[in-house]
Amino acid sequence: MSHLIFIVLLNILFTNGLKYNGYQIVHIEPTKEQTELIHQNCNFDYITPLRRNGGLTKVVVKSEERKIVYNFLSSNKIKFTVIVDDLENYFKKERLHQLSRLKTFDRGTISFRRYERHETINNYLKSLASKYPELVSLENIGQSFEGRDMIVIKISTGRGTKQKPVIFIDAGIHAREWIAPATALYVVNQLVENSTWNNFMIQNADWYILPSLNPDGYEYTHTNDRLWRKTRSLGSECTGTDANRNFDFYWGTTGASSAECSEIYKGRNAFSEVELQNFKNFSEANKDKIKLYLTLHSYGYFILYPWGYTSDLPQDVDELQHLGSTVSSKIRDYSGTRFTVGSSTNVLYPAAGGSDDWMKGVNGVDLSYTIELQGDYEGFELPAEKILPAVRESFVGIQAFHSYVDKKY
């Protein structure tokens, strides 16, 4: 028996290969001028983007690059600190940690004490639909490239004659941003399983939630590569498209790459990804009802509104900014966490072909936001014990979004 456990353990530890052996996570703090230098000379794999005016950024340094990178940083007097010394080891620890929680919590419902697999997520949605048939219904919007079901859960009390405003939330478009699906599931959990307490949130609004928009990528981050971002569609040289560069609105015009192997590959053509075709069909069918769209990413502590394709601001920027700031201050009052609010080009970076821009620009959903959720100093790997505090404070923000919609419609 112990022999068996040992083999299972070995498997879990080593099937993933040792891709990140000796990789480091390094915090760099360049000035504005040094930022320019880095732009010209380095090709870092960033976990927080390098911002125009400098400031803290987090990068991954491969073992074979160490010498050259540290020489470059020191000779240009750029401030840096090594935060994680061996990424493989770090991921290994987190995998073991998740495993140790498996026994206690794998009871078919969601515990928010570990990151769930795609199938568990879908099973949870199904179990809610059968337990709460008057409140919950499911719509399977299609299959992913590798054939996984993409399920939207609809939460609606169904009473009243007038069409209620719909709040549409998705998560997981970027595979490695694990806290995003967890947050979407927490919203589901609170609205359905804690519906007495949160009754005010379902009285005058319907909620459509798609917790896992890129299931193949998400599974791949669990089984093979923790830092996978894209979909898993096959290309001629490399696998996957950045689904958040694949929407048909100023597609590929800025902040996206035509190179198949790039992390921000825009795809063969707009909506080349089957996951996005499913998403498009669903969104178009419901666009008149959807009054608020939230797409969950991590990390960065940002509440972003369009546009991502231009630094120009939308004509209703005042409303978008005002609502974003209200949400941000509610979260700050609750936990002290500060989210920065602004247009995605202006506070983050230009990137065309994102879902938020498309939802607003093409579908006419005025209130459209990307939320860059919590991350730890390690980046995407927010440790499992931090899921609950993270999703709780985000839920406070979602309540604030809801109360605005409630008043307006």
Residue 211 partner contact from Zn ion, ligand ARG, none using kind-dependent CB cut-offs of 5 to 8 Å:
none
Spatial distance between the Cα atoms of 251 and 245, rounded to a whole number of angstroms: 7
Spatial distance between the Cα atoms of 271 and 60, rounded to a whole number of angstroms: 30
- 174 lies in the binding site for Zn ion (CB under 5 A): yes
49 or 158: CB nearest ligand ARG? 49
Spatial distance between the Cα atoms of 178 and 221, rounded to a whole number of angstroms: 9
The minimum distance between CB 348 and ligand ARG, in angstroms, equals 6
The minimum distance between CB 394 and Zn ion, in angstroms, equals 15
266 or 297: CB nearest Zn ion? 297
Residue 237 known to be catalytic:
no
- 297 lies in the binding site for Zn ion (CB under 5 A): yes
- Type of residue found at 20: Y
User: HEC states along 165-188?
Assistant: CEEEEEECCCCCCCHHHHHHHHHH
157 or 340: CB nearest Zn ion? 340
Residue 116 partner contact from ligand ARG, Zn ion, none using kind-dependent CB cut-offs of 5 to 8 Å:
none
The minimum distance between CB 307 and ligand ARG, in angstroms, equals 7
- 245 lies in the binding site for Zn ion (CB under 5 A): no
Spatial distance between the Cα atoms of 274 and 69, rounded to a whole number of angstroms: 39
Catalytic residue among 88, 219, 273, 372: 372
338 touches 301 (CB < 8 A) = yes
Secondary structure letter of residue 257 according to DSSP: B
216 or 356: CB nearest ligand ARG? 356
198 or 370: CB nearest Zn ion? 370
112 or 271: CB nearest ligand ARG? 271
210 touches 171 (CB < 8 A) = yes
The minimum distance between CB 171 and ligand ARG, in angstroms, equals 13
340 touches 41 (CB < 8 A) = no
Spatial distance between the Cα atoms of 384 and 187, rounded to a whole number of angstroms: 18
Q: Based on the number of CB atoms within 10 Å of its own CB, is 138 exposed (0-12), middle (13-18) or buried (19 or more)? A: middle
- 222 lies in the binding site for Zn ion (CB under 5 A): no
- 280 lies in the binding site for Zn ion (CB under 5 A): no
Q: Provide the β-strand partners of residue 154.
A: 137, 208
Report, in this order, helix, strand and coil percent for the chain, each rounded to 5: 40, 20, 40
Cα-based distances in Å from 317 to 51, 133, 203, 306, 403: 22, 39, 28, 9, 19
Residue keyed to tokens 């568990």: 120
307: cis peptide before it, omega within 30°?
yes
Tell me the window of 189-197, 278-286, 293-301, 336-344 that interacts with Zn ion (CB under 5 A). Answer: 293-301
The minimum distance between CB 355 and ligand ARG, in angstroms, equals 7
Residue 397 partner contact from Zn ion, ligand ARG, none using kind-dependent CB cut-offs of 5 to 8 Å:
none
Residue keyed to tokens 């947050």: 183
230 or 297: CB nearest Zn ion? 297
Residue 344 partner contact from ligand ARG, Zn ion, none using kind-dependent CB cut-offs of 5 to 8 Å:
ligand ARG
118 touches 219 (CB < 8 A) = yes
Residue 351 partner contact from ligand ARG, Zn ion, none using kind-dependent CB cut-offs of 5 to 8 Å:
ligand ARG
The minimum distance between CB 298 and ligand ARG, in angstroms, equals 9
The minimum distance between CB 287 and Zn ion, in angstroms, equals 23
Q: Which residues bind ligand ARG (CB under 6 A)?
A: 244, 297, 304, 308, 344, 348, 351, 354, 356-357, 370
Residue 354 partner contact from Zn ion, ligand ARG, none using kind-dependent CB cut-offs of 5 to 8 Å:
ligand ARG
**Catalytic machinery residues:** 372
Rule CB under 5 A: which residues touch Zn ion?
Answer: 174, 297
